Amino acid sequence: MPLRRGIGVSSGVVIGDALVLETEESRVPRRIVPRDQIDHEVSLADRAFESARKEVADEREQFAARAGNELADIFGFHERWLGDVKPRKEIASLIRSKHYSSAYAISVFMRKYRRRFQEMGSPFLQERAKDIQDIERRLLHHVGGETRMELASLREPVIIVAHDLTPSELVALEKTKRLLGFATDAGGTTSHTAIIAAGLGIPAVVGLENITSHVSSGDTLVIDGLHGVVVVNPDESQRSTYAAEAKHLEEVRDTLAELTELAAETRDGVRINLLGNIEFPLEIDDCINRGAEGIGLFRTEFLFLEADPLPGEEDQYRAYCDAVTAVGDRPLVIRTMDLGGDKCHRGGGWEVEKNPFLGLRSIRYSLQNLSMFRSQLRAILRASVNGDVRVMFPLISRIMELRQAKFVLSLVMEELEEEGFEFKSDIPVGVMVETPAAAICARELARETDFMSIGTNDLIQYTLAVDRTNERVAQLYSPADPSILRLIRRVVKDADRSTTSISLCGEMAGDPLFAILLVGMGLRTLSMAAGNIPRTKKIIRSISLADAIRVRKRVMSFETEREVLNYLRDETRKVWDEI
């Protein structure tokens, strides 16, 4: 009956049985082995140390060649740690005295060891707990992988309750098709896991602080992702209310699922390209499954945000290749890192700015941190040989920035050519139109690009001068403001008069309220979170181009956001009553 409030990260309601995951390290099952197997377990542990050490040594060599000594040093430490006889001896004695399995002995020892660091006063030393965790993961992987990924063997549908989930755990759970939803102590709307959950459409509430201590496995839970509410052991009336809501949402989803194989085409045959927005390559499958015809926005900064150390060229190359493999021969638009503003990586070097959104962010940051930018462009270019890869520069506010970025790209191409790497020399180059300056000068930008994509989130914030995370003014933030609509219309017209293609990839693209209007404005490519693709397709398939143009004409005559919203709501309801 008790109701717990957190942050809803994806809409949807689900009722089910809870499965509480222990903290990560204790997910290695406590296993006692028979006496005659002890020698075997000790040698398993030894071998895990040895193969983990070799693996690190290999990685260190790769890093030393590409990323310099700093990173190689960190791996050098891991290598020496894994070569140390002391931890091996202690783990062997745990196995011999307590008959633990090698995996469990490793996890017990490492947990104890890691805790010593977490208790240390110096932040530099506390940080090392992360290295220890990394070493532990490697060891567990080599000892036979009895790790968290046992999650992949869920038998019954469950709601996962955990302190936190990593993106890879979430994806492993999703693949079992047994994950109903999840609730975590940690996390916020910008955590990777939350972003992926929203993309996958998994009902989830995060940031509950202490849900793990209030729920036991087997409890019945309601997850209301829309309102950010978790109900533990709901009473009869709560249960029936939520069950009705869940059933209704499921019916809607089923209707939409029938559309997956069908084209996003208006009744009179105008094709609209629906693409997916992603943060990590592992989200691509889900986009495709929901009908995306490619990826219109790969936000690469997420590869950097929580990474420590920062990904080098090789790490990025691997990530981009993974993405290319997942997307197949469909287009993949890779946006270069959009760091700064509210997205600062842990690598440091960030100065406190008075107005971070007007400061050193995005393409400006890239152009001032050329070694990072070049390694990203190298990785993108190298991956480009395998598919339809396109590169896009964010937050362009003047044509010189575009020219500089293209100049760096051409330098990197020369470099790669000299080094004998293959790449696509005619890779399409595009820009985000997300500053008023870029929107106003779109005609000029169009001449020097192959494509442009309107990023409404920033365009709205900069045009209306509203920070939507500031709750005192957030109500002033609206995609329906006439100024925004006129800017979008203007950019689309300018693009149509050029050879450059135009798309829209902000949150507005996935908002069903704007689907008809955007088609009426002339947009033929929309890129959005995977979860929004089906309903957008449903709306597009229910209208004709003539309808869309009529709606656009009417909307462009309004003077206030309110009129726009009311009108669009009425028009959308005519074809989609779930709005």
Partner 1 sequence: MHDNSNSVRVEVTISNRQGLHARPVMRFVDIAMKYECEIRVHKNDLTVDGKSPMEMMLLEAVQGTVLALEAIGDGGAEALNELAELIDGKFGED
Give me the active site residues, please. 192, 505
Given candidates 34, 124, 235, 577, which one binds partner 1 under the rule CB under 8 A?
124
208 is written with which tokens? 């509950």
Is residue 348 close enough to count as binding partner 1 by CB under 8 A?
no
Q: What is the DSSP letter of 32?
A: B
Q: What is the DSSP letter of 343?
A: B
Nearer to partner 1, 84 or 251 (CB): 84
The secondary structure of 155-177, three-state, reads CCCEEEEECCCCHHHHHHHHHCC
Give the nearest distance from C-beta 107 to partner 1 in angstroms.
16
Nearer to partner 1, 115 or 227 (CB): 115
Is residue 81 close enough to count as binding partner 1 by CB under 8 A?
yes
User: In 286-386, where do the E strands start and end?
Assistant: 295-299, 331-335
CB 192 within 8 A of CB 184: no
Nearer to partner 1, 81 or 567 (CB): 81
Give dist(CA 440, CA 413) in Å, integer.
31
Q: How many chain residues interact with partner 1 (CB under 8 A)?
A: 21
Which range, of 58-66, 127-135, 428-436, 548-556, touches partner 1 by CB under 8 A?
127-135
Is residue 117 close enough to count as binding partner 1 by CB under 8 A?
yes
Nearer to partner 1, 134 or 209 (CB): 134
Q: Which phi and psi angles does 403 have, rounded to 5°?
A: -65, -40
- Burial of 532-561, coded b for 16+ CB within 10 Å and e otherwise, reads bbbbbbbbbbbbeeebbeebbebbeebeeb
CB 45 within 8 A of CB 106: yes
Dihedral sign computed on CA atoms, order 346, 389, 457, 205: negative
Residues of this chain, 165-204, that bind partner 1 according to CB under 8 A? none
Q: Does residue 152 sit in helix, strand or coil? A: helix
- For residue 476, the one-letter residue type is L
Give dist(CA 330, CA 389) in Å, integer.
9
Nearer to partner 1, 77 or 357 (CB): 77
Dihedral sign computed on CA atoms, order 68, 73, 75, 79: positive
Given candidates 3, 65, 120, 411, which one binds partner 1 under the rule CB under 8 A?
120
Is residue 87 close enough to count as binding partner 1 by CB under 8 A?
yes
Residue 431: closest CA among 396, 387, 471, 388: 396
Which range, of 18-26, 120-128, 305-313, 550-558, touches partner 1 by CB under 8 A?
120-128
Give dist(CA 532, CA 199) in Å, integer.
8
Give the nearest distance from C-beta 109 to partner 1 in angstroms.
10
Is residue 133 close enough to count as binding partner 1 by CB under 8 A?
no
Is residue 249 close enough to count as binding partner 1 by CB under 8 A?
no
What is the helix, strand, coil percentage profile of the chain, to 5?
55, 15, 30
Give the nearest distance from C-beta 73 to partner 1 in angstroms.
5
Given candidates 3, 32, 65, 125, which one binds partner 1 under the rule CB under 8 A?
125
Give the nearest distance from C-beta 90 to partner 1 in angstroms.
8
Give the nearest distance from C-beta 311 to partner 1 in angstroms.
19
Nearer to partner 1, 113 or 357 (CB): 113
Is residue 251 close enough to count as binding partner 1 by CB under 8 A?
no
Given candidates 1, 34, 121, 426, which one binds partner 1 under the rule CB under 8 A?
121
Is residue 86 close enough to count as binding partner 1 by CB under 8 A?
yes
Give the nearest distance from C-beta 125 to partner 1 in angstroms.
6
Is residue 239 close enough to count as binding partner 1 by CB under 8 A?
no
Given candidates 22, 46, 59, 131, which one binds partner 1 under the rule CB under 8 A?
131
Which range, of 114-122, 267-275, 306-314, 392-400, touches partner 1 by CB under 8 A?
114-122
Q: What angle is formed at CA 547 by the lines to CA 541 and CA 553, rounded to 5 degrees? A: 135
Residue 510: closest CA among 486, 522, 527: 527
297 is written with which tokens? 């926005």
Which range, of 4-12, 96-104, 124-132, 495-503, touches partner 1 by CB under 8 A?
124-132
CB 448 within 8 A of CB 399: yes
Give dist(CA 85, CA 475) in Å, integer.
61
Nearer to partner 1, 46 or 507 (CB): 46
Nearer to partner 1, 115 or 486 (CB): 115
- For residue 425, the one-letter residue type is S
Give dist(CA 275, CA 255) in Å, integer.
20
Nearer to partner 1, 128 or 468 (CB): 128
Nearer to partner 1, 85 or 352 (CB): 85
Given candidates 1, 34, 36, 85, which one binds partner 1 under the rule CB under 8 A?
85
Draw the binding track, 59-78, toward partner 1 (x: CB under 8 A; -: no contact).
Answer: --------------xx-xx-
Which range, of 31-39, 112-120, 259-267, 339-347, touches partner 1 by CB under 8 A?
112-120
Give the nearest distance from C-beta 116 to partner 1 in angstroms.
6
229 is written with which tokens? 């509410």
Given candidates 39, 84, 150, 496, which one binds partner 1 under the rule CB under 8 A?
84
CA 438 to chain centroid, in Å, comes to 26
Gap between the terminal Cα atoms of the chain: 30
Give the nearest distance from C-beta 339 to partner 1 in angstroms.
25
Give the nearest distance from C-beta 121 to partner 1 in angstroms.
7
Exposed / middle / buried, residue 318 (Cβ in 10 Å: 0-12, 13-18, 19+): middle
CB 295 within 8 A of CB 275: yes
Separation in Å, CA 179 to CA 167, 210, 437: 14, 21, 45
Nearer to partner 1, 129 or 437 (CB): 129
In which region does residue 147 sit, left (phi positive, over 0), alpha (psi from -120 to 50) or beta (all else)?
A: beta
Given candidates 1, 34, 36, 122, which one binds partner 1 under the rule CB under 8 A?
122
Residues engaged in binding partner 1 (CB under 8 A): 73-74, 76-77, 80-81, 84-87, 113, 116-117, 120-122, 124-125, 127-128, 131
